[in-house]
Amino acid sequence: GLGPQGPLQLQWRPYRFALPQAMVTSQGAWSERAGWLLRLKAADGRLGWGEAVVEPQQRGGLTAAMAPLPAALDRPVLETLLPQLPKPLACALGMALAELDGLGSTASGGGWRAAPPSAFLLPAGEAALAALDEALQTAAAAGHPPTVKWKVAAAADAQERRLLDLLLAQLPANGRLRLDANGGWDRTTAQAWAQRLAAEPRLDWLEQPLPPADQAGLEALALQLPVALDESLRSPAGWRPGVDWPGWLVRRPLLEGDPRPLLAALTAGTPRLMLSTALETGIGRRLLQHLAALQAVGPTPTAPGLAPGWR
C-alpha cells in the first residue's frame, strides 16, 4: 500500500572505477570497484535510485540474474521477486523503493541525513604509520577524537605485532583503535593478540579475527575482549540472525540485500550496529550516510566506517 501506483520503469547502467590505492587484506588485494546503478521511475514521474555493488566473482551471475528482469513491472510483482534475487540486485531495488516511499525526502523526514565523523581506515603493513599520522592531524583540525581501523593479518605476524606497538605509542589517550583481520587469523594468533590487547583501554574491538566457520572460536574470544562480526554476517557458515551476540555487528548495507529491514532496525534503535562502507559510489553512499546518522542517535552511537580517502 506504500508508494506510487502503476508500473515502475527500471533502467540499469554499469560502472567501474579504480580505487585511489589498492586495498590489501588477509584475503588478498583489490584495486577497483564495479557494479550497476539503477534508476527506478514511477508512473507519476518520481525517481528512486539504487546501486548494486558487484564482487569480481559475482559479475557473471549478477548479469545473468538481471537479464530476465523486465524494463517495467508493477510494484507488487517487484516486491515478490526481490527476495529471490542476488543480494546486490535486491539492495539496489530496495534502496530505490525506499526512496520512492519517501526516504530522503525533505517533506517526509528532513532529507538525507549527514553521517557523523568516520573512523579512519589505515592500510596494511608499514604504510599504516604514515596514514595514522595524517589521520591524527585531520582529526585534530576537525576537533574530534580520532577513531582508526587497521587492516591486519595481511603481513607477517611478527611485523604486525611490532607495528601495533608503534601505532599504540602514537595514538592519543582519547583515540580509539579497531583491528580488522578479515577472518585471517587462526585461534593461536588471535589468542596472542587478545592477550596483548585485553587491558588496552583504547581498543574498540577486534573485527572478524577468525573465519566465519569458527563461530565457537569467536564466541570464546569474545569472552576476553570486544569482538565485532563482519564476514560472519554474510557467510552461510557464520552467525545466524536471531542468535544473541554480545559484541558489535559490522553492517555493510550495500552487500546485504534489501536495506529496508536495516533501516527499520536503526529507526527502532537496535544497539551495537556499526555502519561500514563497501566502497560504493555516491548513490549508495547517501544511503550509508543516512543509516550512519540514524545509528549515531541510537542507544550505542559509534563512528561509522566510511573509509575517507579510499573512494
Q: Which of 239, 243, 183, 245 is nearest to 215 (CA)?
A: 239
pLDDT above 70: percentage of residues in the chain: 96
For CA atoms 140, 142, 143, 146, give the dihedral sign.
negative
- Answer whether residue 112 shows pLDDT above 50: yes
User: Using one digit for the tens of pLDDT, what is the confidence trace for 145-157?
Assistant: 999 999 999 999 9
Cβ–Cβ < 8 Å for 36, 54: yes
pLDDT tens-place string over residues 156-169: 999 999 999 999 99
Position 15 pLDDT exceeds 80: yes
Q: Which residue has the cell 529471490?
A: 84
What value does the CA radius of gyration of the chain take, rounded to a whole number of Å?
20
CA distance 133 to 135: 5
Q: Let me know if 24 is exposed, middle or buried by CB neighbors in 10 A (0-12, 13-18, 19+).
A: middle
